[in-house]
Structure 1
Amino acid sequence: MRFTNPQTILFVADCEQAARFYQTFGFRETFRTPISSPVKIELELDGFTLGLALPGPAAESHGLSPVVRGHRACITLWTDDIDQAYRSALAAGAKDHEGPHPFLDGDLLVAFVEDLDEHPIQFAQRIVS
């Protein structure tokens, strides 16, 4: 048995709006269904696939019970410029959660925002000594 191409799926209120938000960070669209008024869009960044899906169709088609409120998943994006990443996210409509700050005894800088559907996004930058 072999597994390939793992993907995280976030339940969102509007697939196209969420896709535009994540494209701010370099994600590129690789799949959508249906073409107009999509119920799912897949995006890829550096080998990672992020799915954005409407909760209603997932519940109806697959018998799932999507959780649509609260911090139910966290996406981490590594960057070489945490200040710019943080500002770009806020400019794209993210909600501020915690600005850039040292973490792990100063080995990292991290910042948190919430996307348009309240999923936390962590930006992380390694500090080079």
Structure 2
Amino acid sequence: MEFYDPQVILFVADCERAAAFYANFSFAETFRSGPTAPVKIEMTLGGFGLGLALPDPAASSHGLTPVTAGHRACVTIWTDDVDGAYALALAAGAADHEGPHPFLDGQLRVAFVEDPDGHPIQLVQRVAA
């Protein structure tokens, strides 16, 4: 038995909008369910798979009960410039949650934003000693 290519799926209101947002962070599209009005788009960044799916088709096709409000998952993206990534996220349509600040006794610099569907994104930078 072999396991491979794990993926986290976020339930979103608009797959195209969500994919355009995550493309700002260098996520690359690898799959879409159809050329127009896709119900799922898959993207990758550095071996991490991110699925963006509409909740209603997932519910009717797979018997799931998607949660579509609140902080149901958090995507962490490492960067070498958390302040720049934070500004990029806000310019791309993210909502501010907590601006760049030191964390773990100054070992890291982190910021939190929310994507257009309200999923939190943690932007993290290692701070040189």
The whole-number CA distance in structure 2 between the counterparts of 1:12 and 1:85 is: 22
SS in 1 for 2:73: coil
Identity over aligned pairs, percent: 69
**TM-score scaled to structure 1, two decimals?**
0.99
The whole-number CA distance in structure 1 between the counterparts of 2:90 and 2:19 is: 16
Identify the residue that residue 113 of structure 2 maps to in structure 1. 113
The whole-number CA distance in structure 2 between the counterparts of 1:121 and 1:61 is: 28
Identify the residue that residue 81 of structure 2 maps to in structure 1. 81
Alignment of 1:2-81 (within 5 A): 2-81=2-81
Structure 1 residue 34 displacement after superposition: 1.7
Structure 1 residue 3 displacement after superposition: 1.1
| One-letter amino acid matched to 1:94 | A
The whole-number CA distance in structure 2 between the counterparts of 1:74 and 1:58 is: 20
Q: Which runs of 5+ in 2 are unaligned?
A: none
The whole-number CA distance in structure 2 between the counterparts of 1:57 and 1:34 is: 13
Q: Which runs of 5+ in 1 are unaligned?
A: none
Structure 1 residue 66 displacement after superposition: 0.0
The whole-number CA distance in structure 1 between the counterparts of 2:6 and 2:44 is: 11
Q: Which 4+ runs in 1 deviate beyond 4 A? A: none
Deviations 1:38-93 (A, max 9, x none): 00000111111100000000000000000000000000000000010000000000
Superposition RMSD in Å: 0.5
The whole-number CA distance in structure 2 between the counterparts of 1:121 and 1:3 is: 26
The whole-number CA distance in structure 2 between the counterparts of 1:109 and 1:83 is: 9
Structure 1 residue 110 displacement after superposition: 0.4
